[in-house]
Structure 1
């Protein structure tokens, strides 16, 4: 992906990035997260809202861009079926939200794991 295209997508609104995320994940069937050297996934605590969340991206390039300034972080893909089977219940049990596709302005579409699953299932059912 070209740098100017990435910048354009990252600079779009939360809703536009969310739609981009659904479409991209629907096409490629992978969700991207960030892990540290111990393979522990990144979770972020939003002090303003008192919410802890798992940030997710639609593509390796976006997750890798997020990791650029952190030598101990790397992108990791999760196949959608695995995300549905293992991650949705685990995130819900742990009280984590999902932060879909953080933007360059630090905004993120926040939602419950079950809501993301429902929206992705709808996207995947499209012909």
Structure 2
């Protein structure tokens, strides 16, 4: 069951650290995640020297965040095990970072895949 409009509004008003903590709690329970994608692939936000993949713990949060800039994108469901076993090692290899549940203004904590893995208590597999 996804977030309703009131829960979405409340979540996006939380401080950055509180949104980060919500994702950490969610991931420590090994629950699935959501990203945005379009016909070109997953949405990566260019922050100059960093390419960042925004992630959320609810489909409706991802859909709400896309706004006008990413309106042609859709939320993509990622199984937790796939995220840990495939996505994180691949992102580490490619030098991408994670944007943890950014709010509607685009503010959020950015971490490396290695930091994220450590924070949720999993060992990051090394990709060959």
Tell whether the structures are fold-level matches, with TM greater than 0.5: yes
8 Å contact 1:32–1:60 — kept in the other structure?
yes
Structure 2 counterpart of 1:83: 83
Q: What is the aligned length?
A: 119
Deviation at 1:3, TM superposition (A): 1.5
Q: List runs of 5+ in structure 2 lacking aligned partners.
A: 123-128
Judged with a 3 Å threshold, the aligned counterparts in structure 2 of structure 1 residues 18 and 72 are, in CA distance, closer, same or farther, namely: same
Deviation at 1:23, TM superposition (A): 2.0
Structure 1 counterpart of 2:47: 46
8 Å contact 1:24–1:59 — kept in the other structure?
no
Structure 2 counterpart of 1:64: 63
Structure 1 counterpart of 2:5: 3
Q: Which residue, 31, 34, 41 being the options, matches 2:33? A: 31
8 Å contact 2:65–2:104 — kept in the other structure?
no
1:90-105 to 2 correspondences below 5 Å: 90-105=90-105
Structure 1 counterpart of 2:22: 20
In structure 1, distance between residues paired with 2:34 and 2:71: 18
TM-score, normalising length: structure 1: 0.83
Q: Which has the higher helix share?
A: 1
Judged with a 3 Å threshold, the aligned counterparts in structure 2 of structure 1 residues 7 and 118 are, in CA distance, closer, same or farther, namely: same
Secondary structure of 2:57's aligned partner:
coil
In structure 2, distance between residues paired with 1:32 and 1:20: 14
Secondary structure of 1:72's aligned partner:
coil
1:31-74 per-residue CA deviation (whole Å, 9 max, x = no partner) reads 11111035x11111113xx2111111111110111235344200
TM-score, normalising length: structure 2: 0.83
Secondary structure of 2:102's aligned partner:
coil
